[in-house]
Structure 1
Amino acid sequence: MYRPQEDSYLLAGALADAGGTKGAKVLDFCTGTGFLAVNAAMLGASSVTAFDINPRAVFSARVNAWSRRLPIRARQGGLDEALRHGPFDIVLSNPPYVPCDGENRDPRWDAGADGRCVLDPLCDSLPTLLTPGGFALIVHSEFTGVEATLSRLREADLKASVVARSRIPFGPVLRNRTDYLYSSQLAEPGALTEEVVVVRADRPRTRS
């Protein structure tokens, strides 16, 4: 399962800065260990539903919630299942977003040739997942296409902006993907750092 790393902490900080969590109904999509779900619950969310396709991740999230006596329900499933439990006031997601060539793919972080095979369906579903006035916070790498995310969200009639950034050295996963990143022109040859961003998407209270 995916354990908390720099992107997880960046997203948790963005959630704390955003406010509005107290009393909110929250979705943590691609929860991993439940780190973000725990953060949302500790910030006062009235309920948190955490989804992951990995049964080990779901078990870990349940243990982390139970040990802290927090109002978190961890469930196994993907986006279709999450949609059946919505809408939510806040959607959080640290989805798989690493571009890969399809060989030796690891579902914890690899997300297709452009890194968007989870991200794009999630963006398209946010108008349904969010309550009017609700917001989403999604973290991903610059190599996944920040402008592509912003454009996709705006095309779905959501307000979208980058609310947090951090430049970090390549970890073991990206160091093993450098040949693909360079050859596909997703990263400049020789690059050894990536910018990780948190994108915020707001659903208007009323349709324009």
Structure 2
Amino acid sequence: MSGMLPPGLMALPGVYQPQGDTRLLAEALAREPLGRGADVLEIGTGTGALALQAARRGASVVAVDVSWRAVVAARLNALRRRLPLRVLHGDFAVAATGGRFDLVISNPPYVPAPEAQTPAKGPARAWDAGPDGRAVIDRICTVAPALLRHGGVLLMVHSGMCGTDETLDRLAAAGLVSEVTARAFVPWGPVLRSRRAWLEQRGLAAEAEELEELVVVRAQSL
């Protein structure tokens, strides 16, 4: 059961609900030898699904989100399950300053968007990530070494459309040993379908493409 997402999660309007990417990351999380009392950070917690999965295994979990609605949803879901979960509001690089973790998990915004600036509010903030989809991914790659203890692990899921090799290269440049540990193909959702012409024009998607590749990247501090 430890690899399953908590059932019946409450999601307030505008809060990202667990989908295929969340489930793929949950499976990767279940494979990690997470010891009781391990310190875990989740970046972009949403409903708190992954943070609660780690807390259920006895980890000490800090969850961060820029959305107040997500913070409220995660706190309520933790209360309903009587699981200890510290949920912070704000930018992860600021909220987690000074902390070192055994495991950092994230399902960040990664959908390529025509707008150069990421949304400051609204539900699209949970998925829009600039023209290449890497606005948040690149920040996580840069900050990860400062968040991880010796031997600590980063687990991050994102679309192959964003450039899997780019993520691996950035993590390697930051001094982490990284690899892709899981892949899945899921049907395009409504956001991608609405941007088909733009994605094809940018060379981010092939003509008539219908499946999106998701990858879980695992990086370890040595």
Q: Structure 2: which 5+ runs fail to align? A: 1-14
The aligned counterpart of 1:7 is: 21
Take 2:76 and 2:210, find their aligned partners in 1: how far apart are those partners? 36
Task: Choose which of 147, 171, 175 in structure 2 pairs with 1:157.
Answer: 175
Q: 1:21 to 1:115 in 2, by over 3 A?
A: farther
- Is the 1:48–1:72 Cα contact (8 Å) retained in structure 2? yes
Larger displacement relative to structure 2 (111-120 or 82-91):
82-91
Q: How does 1:113-132 map to 2 (within 5 A)?
A: 113-132=131-150
Task: Choose which of 49, 53, 60 in structure 1 pairs with 2:62.
Answer: 49
The aligned counterpart of 1:188 is: 206
Task: Choose which of 32, 45, 51 in structure 2 pairs with 1:31.
Answer: 45
- Is the 2:65–2:92 Cα contact (8 Å) retained in structure 1? no
Letter of the 2:21 partner, please give it. Answer: D
Q: Structure 1: which 5+ runs fail to align? A: none
The aligned counterpart of 2:90 is: 77
Larger displacement relative to structure 2 (4-13 or 68-77):
68-77
The aligned counterpart of 1:64 is: 77
Take 2:16 and 2:188, find their aligned partners in 1: how far apart are those partners? 16
Take 1:181 and 1:108, find their aligned partners in 2: how far apart are those partners? 19
Take 1:19 and 1:164, find their aligned partners in 2: how far apart are those partners? 17
Q: CA deviation at 1:179?
A: 1.6
- Is the 1:158–1:201 Cα contact (8 Å) retained in structure 2? yes
The aligned counterpart of 2:115 is: 102
Larger displacement relative to structure 2 (152-161 or 18-27):
18-27
Q: 1:121-163 deviations in whole A, cap 9, x for unaligned?
A: 1110010000111001000000011000000000011000001
Take 1:15 and 1:22, find their aligned partners in 2: how far apart are those partners? 14
Take 1:73 and 1:180, find their aligned partners in 2: how far apart are those partners? 40
Take 2:220 and 2:35, find their aligned partners in 1: how far apart are those partners? 14
Q: CA deviation at 1:50?
A: 0.5
Q: Which secondary structure state, in structure 1, belongs to the residue aligned with residue 125 of structure 2?
A: coil
Q: CA deviation at 1:18?
A: 1.9
The aligned counterpart of 2:103 is: 90
Q: CA deviation at 1:85?
A: 5.0
The question of 1:172 aligning with 2:190 is answered: yes
Q: CA deviation at 1:39?
A: 0.7
Q: Which secondary structure state, in structure 1, belongs to the residue aligned with residue 126 of structure 2?
A: coil
- Is the 1:33–1:61 Cα contact (8 Å) retained in structure 2? yes
Take 1:116 and 1:152, find their aligned partners in 2: how far apart are those partners? 11
Take 1:7 and 1:196, find their aligned partners in 2: how far apart are those partners? 7
Give me the TM-score of the superposition, normalised by structure 2.
Answer: 0.88
Give me the TM-score of the superposition, normalised by structure 1.
Answer: 0.94
